[in-house]
Amino acid sequence: MRAIVVRTFGGAEVLRLEDQADLTPGPGEVVVDVAFADVGTLDRLIRAGRFGEIFGFEPPYVPGSGVGGTVRAVGVGVDENWIGQSVIGGTGTDGPTGGYAEQAVLTADALIAVPAGIGVDVATSLLNDGTTSQLLLEVAAPTLDDRVLVLAAAGAAGTLLVQLLQARGVPVVAAAGGAQKTAALRDLGITHVVDYSSQDWTAQIASIFQDGPTIVLDGAGAALGGEAFTLLADRGRIVSYGTSAGIFAQFDTGDAHRRGISITNLMDLPTVTPPDRIRLLVKALDAAASGEAAPLLTHVPLADAAKAHMALEQRTAIGKTVLAVVG
C-alpha cells in the first residue's frame, strides 16, 4: 500500500508518499481499504512539531486521525459480517496517526456503518468537525430567543454550525474573511454573512443585531475573537474553540464579570468520552442525511496531502478538506 509518511517535523513539504507493507488486523481490529481520509488542523500542527510530546510519538509516522472506506479484513473476535461494509472510524491508539494511507487499522468497537443516503466522503468529513459542531451547540445551548455570531464561519466546523443554527430558526450571522469565503456561505443559503476583513465588520454586525449577539462561537481567535467579545450583549456567552487567526483570543475577564458574560475556552469544554463521540457523530450524520447541515467539501488526492496542509496554513481552505485515496 501507499501512505503519507512524516520522517521529520517541519513544513508541509515533509509529507511524502511512500510504499508501505500491507496491514494486518490484530484481535478486535479491522483493516479498511481507505477511500477518504480526514484532514484536520491538529494534523498540521503535529507535523510542524507542536503537540507531538503530548501524544508521545516521534517521526516517522503516518498522519491522520480518521478514515472512511470498506472493511477488507477482520481480526480475532470481530464479526466477519463487517467485511465489505462501508464504514468510518478513528485511527491511532496513541494519537492522530494512521489515516493518510490506502489501508488503515481501526478498532471494531469504534466502527460506524456509513448511513444510507450519505457518501463515504461526507461521513468521513464529519468524524471530527461534525462532532465538534454538535458539542459546541450543546455547550452554547442556543434558543430561538438568542442571536448568534459565528466566527470562522467558512471553516469545517463553522459551515456546519451556521447551517444547523439557521435550520433551527436561531438568528445567526456568519462571519468569515474574504470574498470567496463569504460567497461560499451565501451559496449555502446563509441569510446574514459578514466579511471580517472589512474595517467596518463590527458595525455591520451591530446593524443586524442591534442589541448585540447573545452568543459568540469563536473559531477564529486572536483580535477577531476579542472584537467579537466587545459586541456581546450583557449576560451573553462566548465559546472560544478555534485559532484560525493564529492564536486564541484574550478576553477582559473583569469586563466579563461586570457584564455577566460567560466565557468558555477550549480547555473548558466537556471531556468527550468514546460513547459521547459516537453519540455526537451520529447526530452529525443524521443532520447531514436530513439536509439540515451538509459539509462543504474539497477533495484532494492523497499524493497532494502537502497542498491540503498548505491551504489550511495559508487560510485559503474553505469548508472541509478530505484526502481522496486511490488504490
Contact between residue 166 and residue 190 where contact means Cβ atoms under 8 Å apart: yes
pLDDT tens digits, one per residue of 166-176: 999 999 999 99
2-126+295-324: in CATH 3.40.50.620: no
Confidence category of residue 214, pLDDT binned at 50, 70, 90:
very high
pLDDT value, residue 60? 96
Average pLDDT for 161-167:
98
- Assess whether pLDDT exceeds 80 at residue 302: yes
State the number of CA atoms in the 13 A half-sphere of 80 facing the CB.
0
Angle at 142 between CA 137 and CA 143, to 5 degrees: 140
* Beta bridge partners of residue 199, listed in sequence order: none
Q: What is the pLDDT, as a whole number, of residue 245?
A: 65
The pTM score is 0.94
Its sign, for the CA torsion 96, 37, 294, 213, is: positive
Where do the domains of the chain lie? 2-126+295-324, 129-268
Per-residue pLDDT averaged across 242-268, rounded? 90
User: Which tens digits make up the pLDDT trace of 120-135?
Assistant: 999 999 999 999 999 9
For residue 52, what pLDDT is reported?
65
- Supply the pLDDT for residue 94: 74
Inform me whether the pLDDT recorded for 222 exceeds 80.
yes
Neighbours of 113 (CB within 10 A): 13
When pLDDT is cut at 50, 70 and 90, the band that residue 51 belongs to is confident
Pick from 236, 217, 224, 158: which is nearest to 190 by CA? 158
Q: Please, which pLDDT band fits residue 92 given cuts at 50, 70 and 90?
A: confident
For the cut 90, the answer to whether the pLDDT of residue 95 exceeds it is no
> If pLDDT is split at 50, 70 and 90, which confidence band does 299 have?
very high
| Cell 498522519 found at | 63
> Could you give phi then psi for residue 322, rounded to 5 degrees?
-125, 150
- For 24-36, b where at least 16 C-beta lie within 10 A, e where not — what string? ebeeebbbbbbbb
> Rounded to whole angstroms, what are the CA distances from 171 to 97, 144, 214, 242?
39, 7, 10, 22
Residue with cell 461494509: 85
Q: Could you tell me what percent of the chain has a pLDDT over 90?
A: 89
Q: Does domain 129-268 have CATH number 3.30.1360.120?
A: no
| pLDDT of 158 strictly over 80 | yes
Q: For residues 8 and 78, is the Cβ–Cβ distance under 8 A? A: no
Q: What is the mean pLDDT of residues 244-269?
A: 90
Per-residue pLDDT, 139: 97
For range 186-213, the mean pLDDT: 97
Are the C-beta atoms of 152 and 220 separated by less than 8 Å? yes
- Rounded to 5 degrees, what angle do the CA atoms 245, 250, 251 make? 130
Give the Cα separation of 9 and 28 in Å (integer).
Answer: 32
Please name every residue paired with 36 in a beta bridge, in sequence order, or none if there are none. Answer: 68, 324
In three state form, how does the secondary structure of the chain look?
CEEEEECCCCCHHHEEEEECCCCCCCCCEEEEEEEEEECCHHHHHHHCCCCHHHHCCCCCECECCEEEEEEEEECCCCCHHHCCCEEEEECCCCCCECCCECEEEEEHHHCEECCCCCCHHHHHHCCCHHHHHHHHHHHHCCCCCCCEEEECCCEHHHHHHHHHHHHCCCCEEEEECCHHHHHHHHHCCCCEEEECCCCCHHHHHHHHCCCCCCEEEECCCHHHHHHHHHHCCCCCEEEECCCCCCCCCCCCHHHHHHHCCEEEEHHHCCCCCHHHHHHHHHHHHHHHHHCCCCCCEEEEEHHHHHHHHHHHHCCCCCEEEEEECCC
